Structure 1
Amino acid sequence: MGENARVIRSGAVAVGMAVGVGVDAMAGDPRKGHPVAVFGSRAAALEKRVYRDSRLRGALFTGVCVGVTAGIGVLAARLGRDRPMAGAAVTAAATWAVLGGTTLAREGTHMAGALERDDITAARKRLPHLCGRDPSRLLAPELARATVESVAENTSDAVVAPLFWGAVAGVPGLVAYRAINTLDAMVGHRSPRYERFGWASARLDDIANYLPARLTALLTAALAPVVGGSPRRTIAMTARYGHRHPSPNSGRCEAAFAGALGVRLGGVNDYGGRLEHRPELGEGPGPAISDIRRSVRLARAVSWAAAGLAVLARVALTRRSAR
């Protein structure tokens, strides 16, 4: 009986992940009260209370935020341990809450539409929905590049990585990953305030994304023909340029997208007056406006493939438990 219960619970996780992916595809993120936004507000409040210019204090902050979130995930998973329907529902809710693929695609499409209408003002207003760059002086080519780079990076961060950790660890993996990634966005960037305090969040995010980023690159290569690209060229561009990016993970995703789309990414990025010179990734022209929709199409294909693999992985775990 105990063995059968484990099999049923594992199967409920697979069903829940599949349902959660479907809900995200249909509804995307809510405009108000998103669980990730609630977590961010609570983390920001805690930061104000515990902040010191110290790696140790930053590590404690990161440990508390991620630990509490993972603990909530464990408790939520236990609620459905003996009730498969409840377990599937909890997993579906967690999966929907941590995924951002549908919203990412919508934002990319909005940017493409604004630039196709030659509405630079609208595009500049929209860019902060995708990344933290200062859009005030960007023209169409820079806005197109920023969009394609953001779509590439966030395909891993918002879709592949959470699904990967959901497949590995169920609900706790889903919510813990999203906490890690959110903290990195909040305090993991380099600045006078967060150089030391955000160190632990940034390093933990690097670890959590190491395998998912490379899986994203492999899926991008496999699906490059969706946008007229070559799998062989995509793999070559990833191997040749992926390690040049300051991030050990983002560069793999961006180089893979550059190879699949046949464009060159990288350049100078302005983060509110803080300039970062990013190395060029890929070989070809800079992204054109038309490449934005191509990047969105590729991101969607990678997202669906990752979802299928995650569900299949949980099904495989179920069958293994049955033996």
Structure 2
Amino acid sequence: MRTTHWLAKCFVISLPLLGLLAVVVWLNGCFFFNYPKVSHNKSVSSLSQVRVVQHFMGKTIVPAHPQRVVVLSGSCLENALALGIKPIAASKSFVSQLQRLVGPLSGIEDVDWLSPSIEKVLFLKPDLILGMHFHQDIYPLLSHIAPTVLAPPGTTGAWKESFAFTASVLGKTKIAQQVMDNYYARLTQFKAKMGDRLNTTLVSVAELRTDALWLWAKASFSGVILKDAGVARPYSQTLDSQATLSLGGGPAAYALSEELLSELDGDILFLVSEDALGKRDLHPILEQLKAEPLWSKLKVVQQEKVHEVGFYWVQFGPLAANRMIDDLERYLVKQQ
């Protein structure tokens, strides 16, 4: 009786784990019977062919020159493309998004970014997997397929750190330095062209969302780039992360109520009116905003200095940053 009771108790406790155990056993079977662990054995065959990288889950040995990279986030995808590496797989949503920046991206298999198919990743035979901190629950499975590196959490404003991290993992630090040198060179030219107007032109940035109009503060992606560009911002967008959080927003942005539309005002307004993933039509929301009585009273509206821009003012990396600089040159330099 005691033995039976003990076995029954163990069975009940273990039942929720059977699904995960089955996947692990299946993975081991696939590796054992179908092909060797390419990512761990072949890539670690020589010290000159590997590197050790520190990441969210610890230290991992990765190929010095990975050839078959799977990425599980939009930032990792953009960073890889900026470094001249086209992954073999990424989320279809992010691929579609970035095609609006770089043109057609053929030959990239679709893997969901939140809940990627372990089976599909396995049969793609990657030699490196790049994910984010929120993939930690499936990290044991992913790392059983190939060396897996998870980026630490961070705001969109930490895009330079994210880019540098991806470059170090992919062994492309020299190319990353060239990309950033070009970024700063473009901003130096922009500042020279702006001259005395640089510190007197208030640049406002807001994003249309289905729930409200959001202001992007200095810790945001665009906030960091505008700071590098040396332009002035309205007070409402100079708030730090603690202030935006206290207003009920995130660490980089917060919602602006209709009665406070005046805080949006400036000499020029860049209005992100495009859904980042292209899934929602924001045109009706834009029309509602324009119908607000306080909207027409804004100086920036009266002077017709509102410019609708794309998602690249919100995220993710150097490709988007350069498109932002294009807009700064177009609307602040050429149209003055």
Is this a same-fold pair by TM over 0.5? no
TM bucket by the smaller chain?
under 0.3
Structure number with the higher strand fraction is 2
| TM-score between both structures, scaled by the size of structure 1 | 0.26
Which structure has more relative contact order (CA 8 Å, sep 6+)? It is 1
Q: Which has the larger radius of gyration?
A: 2
Structure number with the higher helix fraction is 1
| TM-score between both structures, scaled by the size of structure 2 | 0.25
